[in-house]
Amino acid sequence: MALQLTINGISIGAIYALIAVGFAVVFNIMRFSNFAHGGMISACAFISFFFQRAFDPPPPFFVTVLFSAVCGMGIALLIDTLGYRRIRLKNSPKIYYFLMSLTFAILIEQILTVFFGTDIYGFPSVFKSQTFEIGSMIFKTMNIVILAVSVVILVALVWMINKTKIGLAIRAVAINADTSRLMGINSSVIVTVIFIIAGVLAGVSGVFLGVQYGVFPSVGPSMMLKGFIASIIGGLGSLSGAIFAALALGLIEMFLTFFIGATEATVILFGIMLAFLFIRPQGIMGIIVEDKA
Amino acid sequence: MNILDITGLRVWYDKIEAIHCVDLKFEEGKITAIIGSNGAGKTTIINAISGMVKRDGQLFYKGKLLTDKSHKVVREGIIQVPEGRRVFAGLTTEENLLLGAYSLENRKEISGLLQQQYALFPRLEERKKQDAGTLSGGEQQMLAIARGLMAKPQVLMLDEPSLGLAPIITNDVFNKITTIREQGITVILVEQNAKKSLSICDHAYVIENGHVVMEGSGDELLHNEKVAHAYLSTTVDEIE
Ligand SMILES: Nc1ncnc2c1ncn2[C@@H]1O[C@H](COP(=O)(O)OP(=O)(O)OP(=O)(O)O)[C@@H](O)[C@H]1O
Ligand SMILES: [Mg+2]
């Protein structure tokens, strides 16, 4: 039992990690909390839901994930072009980004509600056998797939940030955008790369959330809060901190839900976040980043 | 030959004009110093060349109009080593150097360039895995200069490289600057330390309140009574 709970918890935590990292990369570079991320996740959940149902037989799951990732990327770039880019060009205060991202988040959720209502659409079953057994233990196939795909994506992302030329440039811009320009780094290229990363992560987490919790307009915003908590606990600014915190959060949530119930578990999670803000506002590994909104 | 030829340069911060119609010429392979008191507009001038601030006027680089996009200016070989060093704290010394080479197309050159900088600044090689934010002030200044050299500059603009350094290290930095000129690199040297910079430069401009108020060879200005009074806080006799 404990092992199954652990696997399930880490699998949920892996989705939170995808969300937390998607949130944190934008924060690190742009210095604002991109709440539109939740809206993007909901949109991608719907997109992948209809994509999966549009074909008979349904496409292989990885095709749906890929399709959703590409759509997430498109939505992120669209939001940047329509909204954030103008703020950037005018050099307006950070609070405008924050307001713009909230506006997009609400707008996307409302558009989805207008078209699809607030009902929960169950994701069609993806695998022939929902579970498999090893010895006496039963695992959900989807949990393992989610865990595996998330690990691959996160490892690839961390590798890219730490080992490649563009990753080094991204870290430099996160530390000091002006000095980075003196290195010949084109900041608009970096911003585009950041939104591509955020969009892909939103797309993938959208499918996973849809599969696990069903598809509804507020699935992204409500789950994004957990990712947000993770990125705060991990230290806004630290990707590995965010990943670590997200996995821990998934685990704690799973055990708390099992032993005391889902509603109480959420209350306790927010309690943990508050405690972190009081005791260690810089998070597990992060440094305090100034001028944020 | 002038590698960089600037006429009618103006820069505004909001509504306030900080640089008023300034003409500057920089001869290829030479050190040109820009001196002046605090707030005179020295940093603003090199930021205007780097495309870091909005500007007006004509900037000709090797006979062609210079772009105003900062990343393209770097690609053209005009590199700024900013005031206050501004190394990337949180990245290692070597990562900082690699960022200096960001604009180079040919990535094969990089290991050779690293070796060159380590030869010029041996201290940096000893500390290549250290967080650049934890280097001493002098080491950070060397890193900032080395990081600039990683871009294979044709024009290297140094903004107050001796700021906050002990006299011995300042001497060292100025020696390195003459070494850099020997490699054929054009140097634009912005300095508070007027005495030292005038003694190593080939030509110098004195900036006051966004105007060029004087220019001449380093020697001329070093022996000019007004300059001595205003910037060297000595009289000419004491220099002799
Ligand atoms: N970002 C800015 N916004 C508004 N005014 C500015 C800005 N940067 C510089 N200034 C103003 O422009 C003028 C020139 O500043 P600049 O930094 O070029 O001086 P400087 O000669 O480099 O001085 P220092 O020797 O102290 O570095 C100053 O009056 C300064 O207050
Ligand atoms: Mg200055």
Beta-carbon separation of B71 and A168 below 8 A? no
Beta-carbon separation of B71 and A169 below 8 A? no
Bridge partners of residue B212, in order along the sequence: B207
* A222 burial level (CB within 10 Å; 0-12, 13-18, 19+): middle
Query: What is the complex's ipTM, to 2 decimals?
Result: 0.92
Which residues from B are below 8 Å from A241, CB to CB? none
Considering only residues B117 and B224, tell me which one the structure prediction assigns the higher pLDDT. B117
pTM of the model: 0.90
What are the tens digits of pLDDT across the range B173-212? 999 999 999 999 999 999 988 888 999 999 999 999 999 9
CB B94 within 8 A of CB B128: yes
Percent of chain B with pLDDT over 70: 96
Which residues from A are below 8 Å from B89, CB to CB? 175
Q: Which amino acid residue places its CA nearest to atom 2 of ligand 1? A: B13
The average pLDDT across B2-31 equals 94
Q: Is the pLDDT of residue B234 over 70?
A: no
Which residues from B are below 8 Å from A235, CB to CB? none
Encoded tokens for B195: 């005495």
Q: Is the pLDDT of residue B96 over 80?
A: yes
Cβ(B15) – ligand 1 distance below 6 Å: no
Beta-carbon separation of A182 and B52 below 8 A? yes
> Which CATH architecture best describes the domain B1-77+155-165+181-240?
3-Layer(aba) Sandwich (3.40)
Domain boundaries, chain A: 2-279
Q: What is residue A122's DSSP assignment?
A: P
> Treating both helix axes as pointing N-terminal to C-terminal, what angle do A141-163 and A187-213 enclose, rounded to 10 degrees?
170
3-state secondary structure of A59: coil
pLDDT of residue B192: 82
The fold of A2-279 is ABC transporter involved in vitamin B12 uptake, BtuC (1.10.3470)
What parts of chain A have a pLDDT lower than 50?
287-293
Domain boundaries, chain B: 1-77+155-165+181-240, 86-152
Q: Is the pLDDT of residue B238 over 70?
A: no
Q: How far apart are CA A82 and CA A243, in angstroms?
A: 30
Tell me which residue in B70, B99, B151 faces A172 most closely, judged by beta carbons. Answer: B99
Question: From the CA of B44, which ligand is nearest?
Answer: 1
Q: Is the pLDDT of residue B235 over 60?
A: no
